[in-house]
Amino acid sequence: MLKTHTCGELNLNHVGERVTLAGWVNRRRDHGGLIFIDLRDRFGLTQVTIDTDQVQAHDTAVQARNEVVIQVKGIVAARPENMRNPNLATGDVELLADEVTILNPAKNPPFYISGGSDEVDETLRLKYRYLDIRRPRLAQNLTLRHRIVRFIREYLSDRDFLEIETPILLKSTPEGARDFVVPSRLHPGEFYALPQSPQQLKQLLMVAGIERYFQIARCFRDEDLRADRQLEFTQLDLEMSFVDATDIRALIEGLLIKLTAAENAGKRIMELPFPVIKYADAVEKYGIDRPDLRFGQLLFNVTDAMRGSQFAVFQNAIAAAGKSRASSIRVRPTWRAENSMS
């Protein structure tokens, strides 16, 4: 191993130990006699201090710029009380380096990694995705996704679910969106389809007697982009036999409650159990089958009030035995110049 510890691991318990770290130069501060390097890896930051007494280490540290990959060896020391950083997990210690080795040089990156890159054009960040992922925010997002997927796997496995992979290349089936197709080399003129979701496959597993199946499934849909969906995406897919709707709701509700508690200790779901709304009631009261209950913006029937309206839309709807519904919306009045008093 090129390092004995991570850059987010060292604390006062390691004072006096000789350790080796490796990572990226997040920031370098040259104070003449001393050079300070904030060394970064996926696990955090550690301050490395190089004194001019360590000639080789100091000369090498002078060449280290942002995003250069280095290896440092030295002794862990406690920082002076007035120089500790409570915002860092390693803020109570520093590494007094006596050896510095450049493992890989780096050109100046097209945007700063250590901060402010949220303001950089997204197209540029996507072009240099390998640099963008070095940012703590994206690295934390990937770590969070990993923890969520691991929690789901453990939660469902403890409830006798089997994780089963389903085929990616299969025959096209009629569903709600267009398929991506893959041409076959062995069968010219014929194509495989990529699954929009494992709908029929998981039902086959139920017929086969598996009873409880789940998969972190990759799905593909050749359709217009949406706010919460791309051309390919991942979803939790599961199927159960010998259950009713109440059992399904209880399973998912328990998963979401426990997952929220595990990942956000300071947050909790306010309304338990989850409210259950019939489809007809949701459409009647909210005008949609997936209402956002945070706003409580109910629709109310204004059919009788609109019967005398000359507006053709209302007349035609009521004549067709339809209903006119409205929602109460608070509108902030706009102050106009002609209403002002001089």
The per-residue pLDDT for range 273-290, each reduced to its tens digit, is 888 899 998 888 888 888
The phi and psi torsions of 265 (rounded to 5 degrees) equal: -60, -30
pLDDT bracket for residue 115 (50, 70, 90): low
pLDDT bracket for residue 335 (50, 70, 90): very low
**What's the N-to-C CA distance of the chain in angstroms?**
80
- The pair of three-digit structure tokens given for residue 312, joined into one six-digit string: 């053709």
For residues 175-187, average pLDDT: 89
For residues 233-244, average pLDDT: 95
**Residue 296: which residues within 8 A CB-CB, separation 6 or more?**
none
For residues 36-54, average pLDDT: 95
Question: What is the Cα–Cα distance from 218 to 195, expressed in whole angstroms?
Answer: 8
pLDDT bracket for residue 220 (50, 70, 90): very high
**Per-residue model confidence (pLDDT) at position 252:** 95
Q: How many other β-carbons are positioned within 10 Å of the β-carbon of residue 148?
A: 15
Would strands 181-183 and 162-163 be described as parallel, antiparallel, or unpaired?
A: unpaired
For the CA atoms of 129, 130, 135, 139, the dihedral, rounded to the nearest 10 degrees, stands at 100
pLDDT bracket for residue 54 (50, 70, 90): very high
Under 8 Å between Cβ of 45 and 90: yes
CATH architecture observed for domain 12-104: Beta Barrel (2.40)
Of 18-22, 36-40, 184-188, 298-302, least confident by mean pLDDT is 298-302
Question: What is the Cα–Cα distance from 31 to 169, expressed in whole angstroms?
Answer: 60
AA identity, residue 325? R
Domain 160-242: CATH superfamily is: Bira Bifunctional Protein; Domain 2 (3.30.930.10)
Task: For CATH 2.40.50.140, list the domain ranges present in the chain.
Answer: 12-104
Question: What is the Cα–Cα distance from 106 to 89, expressed in whole angstroms?
Answer: 27
pLDDT bracket for residue 338 (50, 70, 90): very low
The phi and psi torsions of 218 (rounded to 5 degrees) equal: -90, 130
Would strands 162-163 and 93-104 be described as parallel, antiparallel, or unpaired?
A: unpaired
Q: Tell which residue, 279, 194, 259, 209, has the closest CA to residue 239.
A: 209
**Per-residue model confidence (pLDDT) at position 336:** 44
pLDDT bracket for residue 340 (50, 70, 90): very low
- Is the pLDDT at 90 greater than 70, yes or no? yes
- What is the residue-averaged pLDDT of the chain? 87
Which neighbouring-strand residues pair with 94? Answer: 77
- The pair of three-digit structure tokens given for residue 21, joined into one six-digit string: 């770290």
SS3 125: helix
Task: For CATH 3.30.930.10, list the domain ranges present in the chain.
Answer: 160-242
The DSSP call for residue 58 is: H
Under 8 Å between Cβ of 196 and 237: no
Q: How many other β-carbons are positioned within 10 Å of the β-carbon of residue 249?
A: 13
**Per-residue model confidence (pLDDT) at position 32:** 79
